[in-house]
Amino acid sequence: MSLIEIKDLKVHYPIRTGFWNRITDSVRAVDGITFNIEAGETYGLVGESGSGKSTTGKSVVGLEKVTSGSILYKGQDITKADNRRKLDYNRDVQMIFQDSLSSLNPRKRIEDIIAEPLRNFEHLSKDDEKLRVLQLLDIVGLDADALYKYPHQFSGGQRQRIGVARAVATNPKLIIADEPVSALDLSVQAQVLNFMKKIQREFGISYLFISHDLGVVRHMCNNIAIMNRGRLVEIGTRDDIYNHPLHIYTKRLLAAIPETNVNQREAHRASRLAVEKVYQEQQSKYYDDDGEAYPLVQITKTHAVALPQALAQQLATQEGEVQA
């Protein structure tokens, strides 16, 4: 059984218009997505901004009101607040936020910030609690003298590591990492990502890793879901997505990864433009009449793509020939 099973999750926001402020339409931020997160793995959720990936993450952690669909954890639907409370759900599922500064209360000392989940879920004695906080700081590579300081006294990378320490404090099973490094510069990104990997190895945590940076996702994730306009367009292992992409949106995302090889600059540019041309000309083939993604069809055991059955098969065989 998977750790978390997300089934046909929908989050719609109402649009109110007119004199009576009636609901006339809705923004479909997340529109029927289904995937499972296994214990101990890192699941990547990738997409452009506004594609609904953060909303998905917030729904999983219980911050967003879900319109329909279910998220199963230990066989219980945790979209209901009652079930979350009964399970002590947030003891097992925590979150790392994108903006490290605003996710730490500027008026609280680091000790109080990291101890907050401990105080709510574990009720340790004062000394045990302080010891646990010191150990957590040690695990994320910060000194003990951080204990009584305030968040603004740290650099961005240090703050994000404090965020990681807080998320790990109750020894959770799943951590939602909502673009945890996109606000950091590259050297610090690597540092924070490596700490996250180290913690994963040591504590056996699963991550739902939300990002738009495909380079980072390749470094971190075993399984990847590509999201576009509130729906999943492609699901697969790292190999499926990076080496055998089928949906045009996935190809576009991959083409957008900057290449460091300057000698082949022209070739890269040409392939990028070719993908863009296909996207412009064949949109109707890849999206349905309303401009939305099709339901997913299974290609291999791990690989699924949101295309009509016939087209998906055709592309899959083409892809196979190219490889051969």
Partner 1 sequence: MAENFEQHSDISAADLARLSQEAQAEATPSTAKIIWSEFKADRPAMVALFIIVGFIAFVMVGALFINTPKMMETNIMAYFNQPFTPEFWLGADSGGRSVAKQLIVGSRNSIGIAIGLTIVSSTFGICWGLISGYFNGYIDWGMQRVYDFMMMLPMTMMIIVLVTIIPHYNSVTLTFIFSIFYWEGTSRLIRSRTLAESEKDYVAASRTSGTSHWKIIFREIMPNISSLIIVDCTLSFAENIGVETGLSYLGFGLPSQTPSLGTMISNANDPNNITQYWWTWLPAALEIIILCLAISYVGQVLRRAADASQRQGAAD
> Rounded to the nearest whole angstrom, what is the least distance from the CB of residue 2 to partner 1 in the complex?
21
Cα–Cα distance between 18 and 6 in angstroms, integer?
35
* Of the candidate residues 17, 24, 68, 105, the single one contacting partner 1 (CB under 8 A): 105
> Rounded to the nearest whole angstrom, what is the least distance from the CB of residue 226 to partner 1 in the complex?
25
Determine how many CB atoms are found less than 10 A away from the CB of residue 243: 12
* Of the candidate residues 47, 52, 69, 117, the single one contacting partner 1 (CB under 8 A): 117
Taking the least distance from each CB to partner 1, the nearer of 179 and 234 is: 179
State the distance between the two ends of the chain, measured CA to CA, in whole angstroms. Answer: 36
Q: DSSP E strands: which ranges in 135-264?
A: 174-178, 206-211, 223-228, 231-237
Which H or E element spans position 96? strand 93-96
Cα 216 to its chain centre, rounded Å, is 12
Q: Could you tell me which residues are beta bridge partners of residue 226? A: 46, 234
Place of tokens 């910060």: 142
Q: In what order do the strands lie in the sheet with 223-228?
A: 93-96, 174-178, 206-211, 42-47, 223-228, 231-237, 304-305, 297-298
Q: Is 294 in the site for partner 1 (CB under 8 A)?
A: no
> Rounded to the nearest whole angstrom, what is the least distance from the CB of residue 22 to partner 1 in the complex?
16
Our CA angle for 232, 90, 117, nearest 5°, is 135
Q: Is 203 in the site for partner 1 (CB under 8 A)?
A: yes
> Rounded to the nearest whole angstrom, what is the least distance from the CB of residue 57 to partner 1 in the complex?
11
Q: Is 297 in the site for partner 1 (CB under 8 A)?
A: no
Taking the least distance from each CB to partner 1, the nearer of 106 and 291 is: 106
Taking the least distance from each CB to partner 1, the nearer of 128 and 259 is: 128
> Rounded to the nearest whole angstrom, what is the least distance from the CB of residue 23 to partner 1 in the complex?
15
Cα–Cα distance between 220 and 214 in angstroms, integer?
10
Q: Is 219 in the site for partner 1 (CB under 8 A)?
A: no
* Of the candidate residues 171, 222, 243, 309, the single one contacting partner 1 (CB under 8 A): 171
Binding mask 138-167 for partner 1 (x = CB under 8 A): xx----xxxxxxx-xx---------x--x-
The two structure tokens encoding residue 91: 């003891």
Q: How many residues bind partner 1 (CB under 8 A)?
A: 49
Question: Residue 151 in contact with residue 162, Cβ under 8 Å?
Answer: yes
Q: Could you tell me which residues are beta bridge partners of residue 193? A: none
Binding mask 120-139 for partner 1 (x = CB under 8 A): xx-----xx-xxx-xxx-xx
Q: Is 59 in the site for partner 1 (CB under 8 A)?
A: no
Window of 96-104, 184-192, 226-234, 303-311 that interacts with partner 1 by CB under 8 A: 96-104
3-state DSSP call for residue 150? coil
- Which residues are near partner 1 by CB under 8 A? 58, 61-63, 88, 90-91, 93-95, 97-99, 102-109, 116-117, 120-121, 127-128, 130-132, 134-136, 138-139, 144-150, 152-153, 163, 166, 171, 202-203
